[in-house]
């Protein structure tokens, strides 16, 4: 690969030796007729878009992707996927890798901060990275001797090449394990988002005071428990708007909002358009 330069700068990562474990690798074909619900993973995901156009909703952000784009989503970051081109189909290879996360790197001020995702166009290196993703996928799916170890080795090479190519923009870090109490609270919200959930109730369930709960939850998931509850409701709302004929009043009640006006206000603030406009834009 020609664009990755060999230089003598010191390591800009806190990991002196890189040992990665591939947890999954698969090729995905996402059809617009399917509902993409918000989901989380306790590992970092690497995506290579092989064909089509689509949009990743990543918490309260949106990223448009096309063929040969590359995307990293850090662990415990809520996201969902929608095709956006006329074919209604988005194809991509995704790889889940344990115990690492990506940091933003501001070279001008030497500041390093956590990020939710990293998105880039691979330019003239797209063929190299596509082959790298495909080789990891083939090895992980293979029955050959030491195939999983080979997938881990190839993933290490891929991640190193990515870090070298984008060394002025990202760095690598050990990923923090999610506190079990916080994970329990997140799962409770996932399964009970339509209920009248209060911060005080969640703090009692976690055996934490509410300020400690907010701090721990935000450290793990980058948002407060109530912010996550709202994001969860918004993502469920998107699926209901696309896949059902329920009225706005019915949907607001289904997902747990007390009033339709507040529902409309929150949805527009998070998504950028009203629920009715979203339905009109995304109906099949």
Instruction: Read off the tokens for 215.
Output: 């701090």
Q: In whole angstroms, give the CA distance from residue 47 to residue 28.
A: 10
Q: Quote the pLDDT of residue 16.
A: 62
Give the tens place of pLDDT for each residue, 200-215. 999 888 878 899 899 9
Residue pair 114/102 in contact by the 8 Å Cβ criterion: no
Q: Flag whether pLDDT at 228 surpasses 70.
A: yes
- Buried (b) or exposed (e) across 168-179, using 16+ Cβ within 10 A? ebbbbbebeebb
To the nearest whole percent, how much of the chain has pLDDT over 70?
86
Pick the residue with more confidence: 33 or 57?
57
- Per-residue pLDDT band at 18 (split at 50, 70, 90): confident
Pick the residue with more confidence: 184 or 202?
202
- Angle at the Cα of 137 (from 133 to 138), degrees rounded to 5? 120
Mean pLDDT confidence for 239-262: 91
Residue pair 246/236 in contact by the 8 Å Cβ criterion: no
């Amino acid at each position: 690969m020609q664009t990755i330069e060999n230089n003598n700068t010191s390591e800009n990562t806190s990991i002196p030796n890189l040992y990665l474990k591939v947890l999954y690798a698969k090729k995905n074909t996402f059809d617009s007729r399917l509902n993409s619900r918000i989901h989380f993973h306790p590992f970092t995901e690497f995506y290579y878009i092989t064909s089509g156009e689509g949009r990743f909703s990543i918490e309260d952000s949106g990223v448009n992707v096309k063929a040969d784009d590359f995307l990293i989503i850090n662990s415990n970051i809520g996201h969902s996927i929608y095709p956006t081109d006329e074919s209604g189909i988005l194809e991509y290879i995704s790889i889940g890798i344990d115990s690492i996360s990506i940091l933003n790197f501001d070279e001008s001020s030497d500041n390093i901060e956590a990020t939710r995702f990293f998105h880039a166009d691979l330019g003239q290196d797209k063929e190299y990275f596509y082959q790298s993703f495909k080789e990891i996928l083939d090895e992980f799916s293979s029955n050959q001797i030491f195939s999983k170890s080979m997938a881990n080795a190839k993933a290490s090479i891929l991640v190193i090449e990515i870090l070298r190519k984008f060394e002025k923009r990202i760095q690598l870090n050990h990923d923090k394990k999610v506190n079990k109490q916080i994970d329990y609270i997140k799962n409770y919200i996932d399964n009970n988002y339509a209920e009248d959930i209060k911060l005080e109730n969640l703090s009692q369930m976690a055996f934490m005071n509410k300020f400690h709960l907010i701090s721990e939850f935000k450290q793990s998931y980058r948002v407060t428990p109530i912010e996550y509850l709202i994001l969860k409701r918004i993502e469920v709302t998107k699926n209901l708007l696309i896949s059902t004929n329920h009225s706005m009043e019915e949907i607001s009640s289904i997902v747990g909002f007390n009033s339709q006006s507040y529902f409309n206000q929150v949805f527009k603030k998070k998504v950028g358009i009203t629920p009715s406009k979203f339905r009109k834009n995304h109906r099949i």
